[in-house]
A and B are shown apart, each in its own frame.
Chain A
Amino acid sequence: QVQLVQSGAEVKTPGASVKVSCKASGFTFTAYFMHWVRQAPGQGLEWMGIINPSGDSTSYAQKFQGRVTMTRDTSTSTVYMELSSLRSEDTAIYYCARDNSDSDITGWWFDPWGQGTLVTVSS
């Protein structure tokens, strides 16, 4: 079945970096864009960025520009999200999600989603 499985929870100190992985299965990995979305405790969903199928093009939300790097490894069907210079406000659940679009490119949707990875930033 179509599935995204993410890496386990992380605890980091302020200023450190974290790299979260998301392994895809059940679909042709090289045909899909992939998104990353985060959710701080008790807060809503926040889009972080997107990576293209070949991994050579990304677009990041302005809020994360300069701190986030998204990559992918086609040999293992895995996408990665690395966030640097962590601060307490980065404590959140980080989700990967597959991008889908309709044939006339008027709508996009995220499906499936990974199970989420909790990143805790604390001294």
Chain B
Amino acid sequence: SSELTQDPAVSVALGQTVRITCRGDSLRTYYASWYQQKPGQAPVLVIYGKNNRPSGIPDRFSGSSSGNTASLTITGAQAEDEADYYCNCRDSSAYHWLFGGGTKLTVL
């Protein structure tokens, strides 16, 4: 089916590593992109393509993909990383795009 699935919530201790996953059939064909959204703000791109970071995004953010799963990893999570994270991918069966339901990251 044409959808992307994310865990609704994930927590991580300050300074530790956390992985946020996104699953969907379209990920077998196309790379995911990842967006960070803080309350009251527009989404911000953090990872795109195979594993690319836009200018200004810290190198603790990285991306990977295997089969039908894409992952966003934050190595050494900081308090300012607490946010909602969304994956996005083109639908492999139509000229449409898909968003995952989002993962709320809590930094403890």
Contacts and interface: CB of A to CB of B under 8 A. Distances in A.
Interface of A: 35, 37, 44-47, 50, 59, 61, 95, 100, 102, 106-116
Contacts of B31: 102, 106-107
A113 B42 contact: yes
Q: A interface, by DSSP: helix, strand, loop or mixed?
A: strand
Nearest to B102: A44
Interface of B: 29-33, 35, 37, 42-45, 48-50, 54, 84, 86, 88-90, 95-102
Given A44-B101, A45-B43, A110 B88 contact: yes
12 contacts: A44-B99, A45-B35, A47-B99, A95-B42, A106-B29, A107-B33, A109-B45, A109-B48, A109-B88, A110-B45, A111-B45, A113-B42
B30 A107 contact: yes
Contacts of A107: 30-33, 48-50
A112 B33 CA distance: 13
Contacts of B99: 37, 44-47
B42 A115 contact: yes
B101 A114 contact: no
A108 B33 contact: yes
Given A107-B49, A109-B88, A47 B43 contact: no
